[in-house]
Structure 1
Amino acid sequence: MQTAISSSDRLSSRGPEPSRLLVVDDDSAIRTVSRLALEYSGFSVTEACDGYTALSWLKSHRFDAILLDARMPGIDGFETCRQMRERLGMDPVPIVIATGLDDDVSIQTAFDCGATDFAPKPLNWQIIIQRLRALIRAREASIHLNGRSLQISSMLKTSSEAVLTMDRNAVIQERKHTEKLPEAVKEMFRPGCAFFDVLPVECSGRVAKAWENAVNGDSIDEFILQFGANGSDMNIQGRFIAGVENEMLCLLQDQTEAFVTERKMYELAYVDQCTGIANEKRLISELTLRLKQERDNGPSTVLIRCATSDFQEFEPRLGRSGLNKLACTIVSRINSRVTKFAKDTSLVLSEPPLVARISESHYAIALSGDGVRGDNIEELAQSILSVLTNCVEIDGFSCPMDWKIGIATSTGTTSPDALLSATAYAIQSGLAVNGNDRIRFYNSGVQENIGRAMELERLLRKDIATGALEVYYQPKFALSDRSLIGMEALVRWNNLELGPVSPARFIPLAEQTGLIIPLSHFVIETVLDQIVCWREEGSPAVPVSINISGHHLNSQTIVEELMAGIEQRDIPCHLVELEVTESIMIEGAGRALANLHELRENGVRISIDDFGTGYSSLSYLRELPIDCLKIDRSFVNSIANDPTAHAIAKAIITVGHEVGLHVIAEGVETPEQLTCLKDAQCDSVQGYLTGRPVDRDHFDIFFGGYVPRSTH
């Protein structure tokens, strides 16, 4: 008998769950050798000394293969094999009978009893192991094929989607559940019709690609069919999957209402609700794309910021509705000048001009083109300034405003925030253009402001290195019983020279200067140490969430470092939660998404922060490694008085629950908001109403006043 197994054989059988073998032989020495040889090759082995014991094992355990001796006392291997097959039923578990009998009758008897294969004694373990692996793979393939056939059959009976059965030429053979589709769409997809002949021309290309991938078995790609006069009256989501017996299935589902909801979410997140133009988030998103194109040798971008400090002075006379009218008038005037400029100038723009409202009294215009030049932009700025400084009449009141314009080009700029900041710097301290003190370009004359930023960076770097920052903790409470279910760790900076510095100021600075990773390390180590401290004090164990930037999440070592810190302190992984933004989850840049998958597989919880302010595609939620959604405070702020915000928040909660996610609302500040969220069946809340961020020494009030409940 050969017992030497190569290291490659042993390594190749490693996996998350080793194959389970039942070895049946009345000779204990043979069983021991068998177990050692098979376990060395990565199998999990159970022994039985006779047929009765083996049959008993089958009652309570499942095996991937059975190695059975033919000659045993009591019932022999042939009878044991026959009874095993009766008990296994339709499960094709491989049974290999080992026998020293090599006559044709013994071999035929083995197969007649249900054996999958036989092996002559003495056993050659190199051959046996390879044979067992091949048989196990064949069984898995058989189970998969049978399961797929049953799955497709069940899907055709119970699917919530309309199902079209087609041949390989995409001709519809039959259809089921088409009552779930709009009547007009249903009539298009009749048996006998060629599927591609009735599609809208504009979407046939991507549908054809999805068909090709499904036919070739490369992937299952979803596609959207848009029908109607304006191309979006009806939105049907579809996908192709391979059926059985050379058939293809097309699954169609009416997603019109979901698209309307997503469009409303987009408008709420990216459109200024007062004027209907782009808001700051949309501007930043657009600038991000344009700057990326510029880095790829694309056209340059110019940003013009128009600012007035007089806007709020009119509220006592005009009220909020009057201020809204004033804002709309301002936008109308800017749009008229930008439209005329784009039409009349010889300048070729690579993208349509984008006008955005970035605050109540600040507006921005983004222009991109190969020929964007200072003289053209100065002409536009003069034109805008002249129309804005004309007095506006609102409800019988005159509203004179003093405007300043700051202009910055994208040359040398690496981020939208830097470009926006440059326009602000220009307004505050730039040089006048041709004697006009109200129009200012950003240039080297703003070094004083840059010097301040460099000083802020120096102080931040020093305080991170010395551990001078603090971590505060804000509690999270279940809405059902107000129990404490977790907390969010928030970094705070109180500098000896500057005093308290807002996170809105130093976090972006850390991102821009590369300090975000050492800052994150500081927060993580502080939080992990604090979890241990609370444990030693006997405080209840609840999850602590940590905000992680895309830069840190995309690093090579974050998984190893975080897991090492958790393991060294013997902290249960589910007590650590990472909060990431939507853009990281959607784009999956670099290693970020892979790192998230690995962390979640290790038990670390993942939460999407500020949900609803990024891409907010509902379809990706079930694909990503997430446990929790945090509804952005912008929805919560207006949930009690804005029906649209209330509907969107409720939609997020409903969809989150449908895909098994915990949903928490952040920024809860009023009892009315709390009531609305409870009525919408939100799981938990976080905000000033239920608990402000406090340092570690003052968090005991939350431990003492509430009974913690695990969210794991």
Structure 2
Amino acid sequence: MRGVYFCMRIMLSLKNPKIPARQGDFMSRLIKAIAVTAALGIPFLLPTVLIAGAWTAAPLALLESFTAWIPILIFIVGSFAYRKETLSEMKLTQKKERMATSVFEHITEGIMVADSLQTIQYVNPAFSSITGYTEEDIVGASPKILSSGKHNREFYDNMWSSIRLRGSWQGEIWNRRKNGDIFLESITITAVKESADSVAYYIAVFKDITVQKQLEARLRHQAYHDTVTGLPNRLLLNERIAEAIQHADHNRRIFAVLFLDLDRFKRINDTLGHSVGDQLLKTIAERLVSCLRGSDTIARIGGDEFVVLLCGMAHAEDSVAIAQNMIQSLTSPIFLGRHELYVTVSVGISFYPNDGRDAHTLIKHADQAMYRAKDQGRNNYQLYTPAKEDHTPQLLSMETSLRRAIANEQLHLYYQPQFDAATRKMIGIEALVRWSHPDWGNIPPSRFIPLAEETGLITLLDQWVLREACAQLKRWLDEGYSPLPVSVNVSMLQFRQPNLGPFISRVLADTGLPARYLEIELTESTIMSNPDVTLQTLHELKRMGIRISLDDFGVGYSSLNYLKKLPIDTIKIDQSFVKDIPEDANDKAIVQTIIHLSQNLRLGVIAEGVETEAQLQYLQSQQCKGIQGYLLSRPVPHHEITRFFAS
């Protein structure tokens, strides 16, 4: 319009006396025609027609004066320029319309448009593909035709309230297809208004997420459940115990943790194979579950180990009754094919809060009670009793003997090599304490280490091990063997000592061992017991040049956010995650995650408890750098470790 108006102004402003009257009539008619067409909104269509008519209607005398045509030529140029501009805009608009139509027809999300009365006006092909309703079926109907009946009135009231207040709603709705199938959709509903108070129509865009949700549920189940028995695994168990602690604290209640270990299961598994062993585990799990209440949790945390969480108990005796029922449930034979199998179970019981205030401690104490049940002849239960309060003659005698053994240096160290997973060359050594009693024979660390912790002897024991390991490694270096780091475990009690740094510094000075060849191993529980003090101590050790290793990784409760702040060098994967790979999918996933985590944090990683070639091959496939276990070497005396130096 602006172009036409401009041309008209130019033409009216030009007054040429040479134009005859007939020509003036033509100009008048032309201007009137332009004005009329402009008023009708189509000024760009008629100028060429009028110009063509001018050539036929105007007398030839017009050609005699070229200047008489200047206004017309100006108009022609302006008209064609405006027409070109307007046609370009039309083409762009048409292109956008074609594109919008194409998107509407081919988008994979379903689209439904309803008017202000919620009557369906339009749907796209994806809508029909998802719901089964054709356009002919659905146009003119109400969206309620899709209702599944799984949502109550309050759900829809909240949805429409959000649309009215915010102009849109986004969420998930269960709807019904034409064939009656229920499906879950992720949907966004938007109200398009024609004025502030008036809705012109509603647009719903949705997609079918039924399969996606089923996959997510399956993956979550796999992450939190044992693949063999279908029972919860360690991750879910820890979550349940954390919830039980909160509930118990709020309601001033107690709960029990039962540690179950199948007696002689390994012999059946090794003799008849893993297939029979897995079937046996399934049957045992079913029998144990039948003894529990709906509020209880039973988890499989290892090959033949189960942990039961008993919540909502009025009396501690309730857990004893359940333990007895579980023991009784396994007394009858289990028939698998042609095999008639007998399995018994030893049970240890700990209580919250008396026997521990976190999952790790409760499970550990229940485990210790379970070993007491095995010592009592298996196939029975035992309640946890702190060693320092146990005044049986054997424990008192053992405590006295251990104190004497530490004071008189009657203990000795064994050394277990750590190997490069790819080359199988020794890359480090872990020092492990052993006790050979003159009357009782070899006492396993699982017996005297907890006793040392309970009685406070663990600090003296740690100090003896540290000094002896440093002295032995220095002797090897002096004999010309290749320098390799030696790892020494430090207990929580020893780590909390304010003089730990000066003591280690004095040991290194006395033995002459360079600090770079000493590695201190700490458990997750030790590190997380007091994070602020831990960081200070760790940085002190690092400034001395000592290496730090995080032992038994995965069984504690370290925060990944906190882990990245720790000045550690190596992560050690706990053997409980290694022993069932590659058969156990959950353990494989955990091991893979720890390896990738260590790689991303640029830390070394060593898998403990490697006993089979299959385990080694899986660890190699995941680029695990280091391994430690019976496959390549058991712990050996100091005079036998030298052959690994030579090789």
> What TM-score does the superposition give when structure 1 sets the normalisation length?
0.51
Cα distance, 1:572 vs. partner?
2.7
Distance 1:459 1:385, change over 3 A: closer
* Greater mean deviation of Cα atoms: 474-483 or 649-658: 474-483
Cα distance, 1:489 vs. partner?
1.4
Report the counterpart of residue 310 of structure 2 in structure 1: 367
Q: Which runs of 5+ in 2 are unaligned?
A: 1-167, 172-207
Contact persistence 1:463–1:469 (CA under 8 A): yes
Tell me the matched-pair count. 439
Contact persistence 1:408–1:423 (CA under 8 A): no
Q: Measure the CA separation in 1 of the matches of 2:251 and 2:614.
A: 52
Distance 1:229 1:558, change over 3 A: farther
Deviations 1:25-63 (A, max 9, x none): xxxxxxxxxxxxxxxxxxxxxxxxxxxxxxxxxxxxxxx
Contact persistence 1:667–1:686 (CA under 8 A): yes
Question: Which amino acid is 1:578 matched to?
Answer: I
Question: Which amino acid is 1:656 matched to?
Answer: S
Question: Which amino acid is 2:539 matched to?
Answer: H
Question: Which amino acid is 1:563 matched to?
Answer: S
Contact persistence 1:303–1:420 (CA under 8 A): no
Distance 1:356 1:449, change over 3 A: farther
1:366 partner SS: strand
Cα distance, 1:365 vs. partner?
3.3
Q: Measure the CA separation in 2 of the matches of 1:391 and 1:547.
A: 44
Report the counterpart of residue 600 of structure 1 in structure 2: 542
Report the counterpart of residue 457 of structure 1 in structure 2: 399
Question: Which amino acid is 1:550 matched to?
Answer: M
Pair 1:539-2:539 in alignment: no
Q: 2:432 aligns with which of 490, 499, 503?
A: 490
Contact persistence 2:263–2:346 (CA under 8 A): no
Q: 2:598 aligns with which of 653, 656, 677?
A: 656
After superposition, where does 1:59-458 map in structure 2 within 5 Å? 267=224, 272-278=226-232, 298-303=252-257, 309=263, 320-339=274-293, 352-357=295-300, 363-369=306-312, 371-374=314-317, 376-377=318-319, 380=322, 384=326, 388-389=330-331, 392-395=334-337, 413=355, 416=362, 417-422=364-369, 425=372, 442=383, 450-458=392-400
% identical aligned pairs: 32
Report the counterpart of residue 555 of structure 1 in structure 2: 497
Q: 1:472 aligns with which of 410, 414, 419?
A: 414
1:603 partner SS: coil
Report the counterpart of residue 533 of structure 2 in structure 1: 591
Q: Measure the CA separation in 2 of the matches of 1:402 and 1:480.
A: 41
Q: Measure the CA separation in 2 of the matches of 1:199 and 1:553.
A: 53
Distance 1:353 1:450, change over 3 A: farther
Q: Measure the CA separation in 1 of the matches of 2:242 and 2:450.
A: 15
Q: Measure the CA separation in 2 of the matches of 1:674 and 1:308.
A: 26
Q: Measure the CA separation in 1 of the matches of 2:287 and 2:459.
A: 45
Q: Measure the CA separation in 1 of the matches of 2:271 and 2:391.
A: 36
2:292 partner SS: helix
1:334 partner SS: helix
* Greater mean deviation of Cα atoms: 282-291 or 547-556: 282-291
Distance 1:372 1:406, change over 3 A: same
Contact persistence 1:611–1:629 (CA under 8 A): yes
Deviations 1:459-478 (A, max 9, x none): 11110111111122223333
Report the counterpart of residue 518 of structure 1 in structure 2: 460
Q: 1:626 aligns with which of 549, 558, 568?
A: 568
Q: Measure the CA separation in 2 of the matches of 1:578 and 1:643.
A: 32
Which structure has more helix as a fraction of its residues?
A: 2
Distance 1:497 1:606, change over 3 A: same
Contact persistence 1:621–1:659 (CA under 8 A): no
Cα distance, 1:548 vs. partner?
1.3
Q: Measure the CA separation in 1 of the matches of 2:261 and 2:425.
A: 46
Cα distance, 1:657 vs. partner?
2.2
Cα distance, 1:559 vs. partner?
1.5
Cα distance, 1:659 vs. partner?
1.8
Question: Which amino acid is 1:465 matched to?
Answer: A
Report the counterpart of residue 87 of structure 1 in structure 2: none
Q: Measure the CA separation in 2 of the matches of 1:389 and 1:483.
A: 48
1:274 partner SS: coil
Contact persistence 2:260–2:370 (CA under 8 A): no
Contact persistence 2:373–2:379 (CA under 8 A): no
Contact persistence 1:553–1:591 (CA under 8 A): no
Deviations 1:517-567 (A, max 9, x none): 111100111122223323333333222111112221122111121123224
Contact persistence 1:389–1:403 (CA under 8 A): no
Report the counterpart of residue 70 of structure 1 in structure 2: none
Deviations 1:284-339 (A, max 9, x none): 99779978998999433345566765867876997543443333233233323422
Q: Measure the CA separation in 1 of the matches of 2:405 and 2:351.
A: 34
Contact persistence 2:259–2:366 (CA under 8 A): no
After superposition, where does 1:3-14 map in structure 2 within 5 Å? none
After superposition, where does 1:633-672 map in structure 2 within 5 Å? 633-639=575-581, 645-646=587-588, 648-672=590-614
* Greater mean deviation of Cα atoms: 532-541 or 640-649: 640-649
Q: Measure the CA separation in 1 of the matches of 2:395 and 2:251.
A: 29
Q: Measure the CA separation in 2 of the matches of 1:527 and 1:296.
A: 48
1:585 partner SS: helix
Contact persistence 1:639–1:645 (CA under 8 A): yes
Cα distance, 1:281 vs. partner?
9.1
Pair 1:684-2:626 in alignment: yes
Distance 1:617 1:560, change over 3 A: same
Contact persistence 1:301–1:366 (CA under 8 A): yes
Q: Measure the CA separation in 2 of the matches of 1:456 and 1:609.
A: 27
Question: Which amino acid is 1:335 matched to?
Answer: V
Cα distance, 1:601 vs. partner?
2.7
Q: Measure the CA separation in 2 of the matches of 1:310 and 1:667.
A: 20
Report the counterpart of residue 105 of structure 1 in structure 2: none
Q: Measure the CA separation in 1 of the matches of 2:277 and 2:426.
A: 42
Contact persistence 2:261–2:370 (CA under 8 A): no
Q: Measure the CA separation in 2 of the matches of 1:483 and 1:685.
A: 10
Contact persistence 2:259–2:308 (CA under 8 A): yes
Question: Which amino acid is 2:627 matched to?
Answer: V
Contact persistence 1:425–1:449 (CA under 8 A): no
Cα distance, 1:604 vs. partner?
1.1
Contact persistence 1:618–1:655 (CA under 8 A): no
Q: Measure the CA separation in 1 of the matches of 2:509 and 2:397.
A: 38
Q: Which runs of 5+ in 1 are unaligned?
A: 1-196, 201-227, 235-255, 343-351, 431-436, 706-712
Q: Measure the CA separation in 1 of the matches of 2:575 and 2:553.
A: 9
Q: Measure the CA separation in 2 of the matches of 1:481 and 1:500.
A: 34
Contact persistence 2:471–2:513 (CA under 8 A): no
Q: Measure the CA separation in 2 of the matches of 1:596 and 1:312.
A: 40
Q: Measure the CA separation in 2 of the matches of 1:441 and 1:648.
A: 32
Q: Measure the CA separation in 1 of the matches of 2:281 and 2:450.
A: 29
Pair 1:578-2:520 in alignment: yes
Question: Which amino acid is 1:485 matched to?
Answer: I
Question: Which amino acid is 1:704 matched to?
Answer: A
Report the counterpart of residue 613 of structure 1 in structure 2: 555
Q: Measure the CA separation in 2 of the matches of 1:551 and 1:442.
A: 25
Cα distance, 1:652 vs. partner?
3.0
* Greater mean deviation of Cα atoms: 283-292 or 464-473: 283-292
Report the counterpart of residue 154 of structure 1 in structure 2: none
